[in-house]
Structure 1
Amino acid sequence: MDGAWWPYSRDAAVELPRLIAAVDRLLDRVTLRIGVYGDAWRNIPRRVPARGRQVRVGWFRHTDPRVLTLVFASGEPVVLLVIPAETAAGAAEATLKRIVQDAAGLTIDAILTLAQPPAGRAPRATADDPARWENEGGAVTGQAQPHRPHGRQP
């Protein structure tokens, strides 16, 4: 597991371009392909726009539905844990922190146990909320600060 991502929705056509833009910028790489679990997303395009190019999207039914894989022009692929969009803010943030601290030795199930929604979920930022992460496809709660895919940088 190289990091985690907390999208706003399961609409791949909306969320994937933001993720690709953020990862390209943060890792200074060019994403060529992205692989997702087909049943975990709706509206999956064959390609998504990204900085003057089109990134191929592959959807599979024989992969872990909780992860997605980014394939670059050079270097090894990056595997991200996808925190479900409906996850409560506190649980999602705890999961992101766990990934940042190093999830080595933890299974995906162990990491996602942190993301179980508690009985009273905190509301997420809405599309009109100024704290919304408009360029990178994630969620910011509390203070307006950028939310980035977390994890070990290659």
Structure 2
Amino acid sequence: MTTTLGRAEPRVGAPAVPARLSLTPKTALAGQLDGAWWPRSRDLETELPALAAALEEPWGRITRVTVNPTRWPVIPHTIAVAGHTLHVGWFTEQDPDKLILLSYTVGRWDLLVVPPETEPAAAARLMAAAATPGSLLTASVLMANEAAIGRGIRDAQRQEAGWESEGGACMSPFGNPIDRSTLPLPGNGWR
């Protein structure tokens, strides 16, 4: 079962917005990821306080975060979070779709970062896949798989729209238009 947390630390002058988070349940099965985080923007200074606040109870105080700079336009060195400082680092060698969190009390966690612009259905699939206990799929592999699924869904929708726009009966089962004269009609021996 996946745990989704929605607690957020209020920022001065801004309403509290819960972190969208899905965590791997505690099991003996270790995987590549410990869950997923779906931020609302690419602004680490805005997004990380809510994430750190949501994780404080189950994981303890988050003290350090590392990201790959290809996905984040601005990476602050430190961020004030609920009475302490969160140190932010970046590494180009790190998977661009992953966030690494460190805590003195419990250790390290790796989270898939679902892009903020992701459609809700795709985000739900990604968050569930990242929280699967014992999964050997990396963050980049999950993102590539979702891209393929998204292409398949768009292709199926396009084929269905073509089917509907052609009246349905004028398309072969393979998605190719066919001439109405080739349709089985009662005069052609079909009943």
Same fold, judged at TM 0.5 (above)? yes
Q: Is 2:59–2:106's contact at 8 Å kept on the other side of the alignment?
A: no
Supply the AA of the counterpart residue of 2:114. I
Aligned to 2:25: none
For the pair 1:4 / 2:36, whether they are aligned, the reply is yes
- Among 96, 99, 102, the alignment partner of 1:65 is 96
SS in 2 for 1:48: strand
Structure 1 residues 106-121: aligned runs within 5 Å: 106-116=137-147, 117=150, 119=154
Residue deviations 1:62-118 (CA, integer Å, cap 9, x gap)? 211110111101232010010111111100011112233436132334422454356
Aligned to 1:97: 128
Question: Percent identity, aligned pairs only?
Answer: 33
Give 1:28 shift: 4.3
For the pair 1:37 / 2:68, whether they are aligned, the reply is yes
**Whose helix fraction is larger, Structure 1's or Structure 2's?**
2
Q: Is 1:92–1:115's contact at 8 Å kept on the other side of the alignment?
A: no
Q: Of the two, which has the highest radius of gyration?
A: 2
Instruction: Output the TM-score relative to the length of structure 1.
Output: 0.68
Aligned to 1:56: 87
Distance in structure 2 (CA, Å) of the matches to 1:103 and 1:84: 23
For the pair 1:23 / 2:55, whether they are aligned, the reply is yes
Q: Is 2:34–2:131's contact at 8 Å kept on the other side of the alignment?
A: no
Q: Is 1:10–1:42's contact at 8 Å kept on the other side of the alignment?
A: yes
Distance in structure 1 (CA, Å) of the matches to 2:75 and 2:56: 20
Counting matched residue pairs gives 119
- Identify if the C-alpha distance between structure 1 residues 86 and 103 changes in structure 2 by more than 3 Å, giving closer, same or farther: farther
For the pair 1:88 / 2:88, whether they are aligned, the reply is no
SS in 2 for 1:111: helix
Give 1:11 shift: 1.1
- Identify if the C-alpha distance between structure 1 residues 86 and 115 changes in structure 2 by more than 3 Å, giving closer, same or farther: farther
Q: Is 1:103–1:111's contact at 8 Å kept on the other side of the alignment?
A: no
Q: What are structure 1's unaligned runs of at least 5 residues?
A: 120-154
Instruction: Output the TM-score relative to the length of structure 2.
Output: 0.56
Residue deviations 1:107-144 (CA, integer Å, cap 9, x gap)? 3344224543564xxxxxxxxxxxxxxxxxxxxxxxxx
